[in-house]
Structure 1
């Protein structure tokens, strides 16, 4: 079984490296291997503050498995994986060098696809994930990173592009922008320069945009981000008296409903007990 192979291979690699081992290497490797073999959902809790040497325990079963995989990481972990952990594995055992495909879209022949959270969202929306199991080493940040990936940001330039794309509605668009502008600039100033916006603040603009087509990016995404599961705010630049309109989901996995259904997922997180 994959668990036994991963156990023996990791044990040999750790003996070869000869360093003081993290005490949970073998347990982590077995949990990951079992989850990959079964194609189920597994959450592995790693104690907060643990040394990142645990990566080798994750990579060994990934290298030995034949499952198509998508590894989802933030930028810091991506750099560590590419610059430290993959070379570490290849140096310890060249036959286990793990090939990772990078890019917005991966061919089916690429068994391991390395993705950012933003690329994961796009791959899911476009149906590019196929039957790949997910490996997510930063489960403690998953909601925040997916929320950031799904966030829609409207800049002053986007308002200009909208008016140019819909000149017949320019007067109405200018009026609605001025209405929001007064709302943002009249709000009490906070140190972070954020101004919360209620659904009623955006409702007139949303109603107008539903009548216009085509809309330049990112307006279709902003229009699609509707319902009680989303929240909006303005980020004010007090020096320029300009602001950006932001909108993101409160529960990103609810927006990505079905992402974890019908596929295995291994999530590892530095989570405190009970969290």
Structure 2
């Protein structure tokens, strides 16, 4: 069977190459080979540290190259070059067979039996357009071809972005051209809507969930146009798609503002993706590979969000000898909503910046609150000079990066390995974000626990990905949010970050000079 062949080939390859950085290579390779042979979907959680290092990719590339049939490999564009120029050629040199490799957004030909490497955007776009034969990408990927999707941690966001419909200035102009006799009505309704939108107080996201009055104005516009001789048949495509989503009870609508330019964008997206995804999963077997998509092995919460049925699930345990962190969680700090919190954590940050690691390695300070981020950045820049950078990717050897979560999630893959990561507050999604507010509202309407089902899992995933560069070198993390010590969900957070050596005070070993510790 292919499982035995893959096991033997990969074991020999690992022995020759001296790869011993990840202990689960052979187990994962057999599971992927089994999924290929049986055509059964699987969900594999490899751990945030393994995902950060990238060594695990050997475990699915080997069975993919040995498998005699065609395969679609969906991976973020950022790792395409590494796959086609390094990892795949290295493996092919050791295999008795040759498999054709293509990179693109469409299936090469009906007779193709190789591996097509494509992006999540291209694959999802083709999947959602498959119900519309007139779309050029409708048949970009044939059905019943085993599909490996690597890096699925942002899959929920990828899907929602693909299903988000937007109406911008150009779309309003197109609507006016489609209904030349209704331009006054269209303009007046747009002015009213824009006026209401700009009454919202400024927030860091410049976005707001549409309230009842704003929703009513959008619906009124469609009703006015439906009563014209042209009816709604003359609607431009963007307006038709927006209306379909707007009328769905699974949708949320929000307003995106550019206050400097006085511009308004309307956006609408589904909340419950589980209603949209089953037809896609039924089209072909899929092997989903992610770092940390769910705290449980069965990943029931994650599967429910994406409409995944009962599939093979496995969660690999981290290597306690290679993946642990030293975690400092001070117990005397005020809570984040306290007025004393900013000054208290600033003093704590000053103390931590005296640690030996900060002199020879970069230090990263994660601040989720934008005003606080700017304040900490300014104060530290006055004290430490050019060593301090606020969300810039030009970090010196002993630089201090003050950053928000979104910037760090992107930059962490390119950043020199930090010696110390300071987290000021837990990455619990903010209700000021209209996408978050819309999903919370959806859970509330159904009388479900929106914190445990949505906010906490999102925070856990963000946290695990954020600390991966530090865990990869068994570094030090300071978590200054005292909720981890005093809230019931704090135990869940600590369990998720395991393996850890936790302390509520600064261990003497942390303060030992580097040369003395060596």
Give the TM-score normalised by the residue count of structure 2. 0.49
- Counterpart contact for 2:245–2:251, Cα < 8 Å: yes
- Counterpart contact for 1:150–1:252, Cα < 8 Å: no
In the alignment, does 2:139 pair up with 1:149?
no
| Residue 17 (structure 2) aligns with | 17
Select 2:234's aligned residue among 204, 214, 217.
214
In the alignment, does 2:194 pair up with 1:181?
yes
- Counterpart contact for 2:105–2:119, Cα < 8 Å: no
Range that drifts further, 233-242 or 70-79 = 70-79
Range that drifts further, 32-41 or 139-148 = 139-148
**Larger Rg, first or second structure (1 or 2):** 2
- Counterpart contact for 1:209–1:223, Cα < 8 Å: no
Runs of 4+ in 1 over 6 A off after TM superposition: none
| Residue 250 (structure 2) aligns with | 229
Select 2:263's aligned residue among 205, 223, 242.
242
- Counterpart contact for 1:29–1:58, Cα < 8 Å: yes
Offset at 1:83? 4.3
Any gaps of 5 or more consecutive residues in structure 1? none
| Residue 153 (structure 2) aligns with | 140
Offset at 1:180? 1.6
d(CA) in 1 for partners of 2:39, 2:225: 43
Select 1:56's aligned residue among 50, 58, 62.
58
Secondary structure of residue in 1 paired with 2:269: strand
How many residue pairs align between the two structures? 275
In the alignment, does 2:267 pair up with 1:251?
no
In the alignment, does 2:138 pair up with 1:122?
no
The RMSD of aligned alpha carbons is 2.4
Secondary structure of residue in 2 paired with 1:139: coil
- Kindly tell me: are residues 244 and 62 of structure 1, through their superposed partners in 2, closer, same or farther at Cα, counting changes over 3 Å? same
- Kindly tell me: are residues 230 and 6 of structure 1, through their superposed partners in 2, closer, same or farther at Cα, counting changes over 3 Å? same
Any gaps of 5 or more consecutive residues in structure 2? 131-137, 300-518
d(CA) in 1 for partners of 2:276, 2:108: 23
Deviation sequence 1:89-134 (CA, Å, 0-9, x none): 3355484455134124543333433332332233222252321222
Secondary structure of residue in 2 paired with 1:213: helix
Offset at 1:25? 0.7
- Counterpart contact for 1:7–1:29, Cα < 8 Å: yes
| Residue 219 (structure 2) aligns with | 203
d(CA) in 2 for partners of 1:256, 1:34: 24
Following superposition of structure 1 onto structure 2, how do residues 155-170 of structure 1 map, counting pairs within 5 Å? 155-170=168-183
d(CA) in 1 for partners of 2:221, 2:108: 38
In the alignment, does 2:101 pair up with 1:76?
no
Offset at 1:259? 0.7
Deviation sequence 1:2-44 (CA, Å, 0-9, x none): 1111111111222222233421111110000001111111111
- Counterpart contact for 1:90–1:98, Cα < 8 Å: no
| Residue 8 (structure 1) aligns with | 8
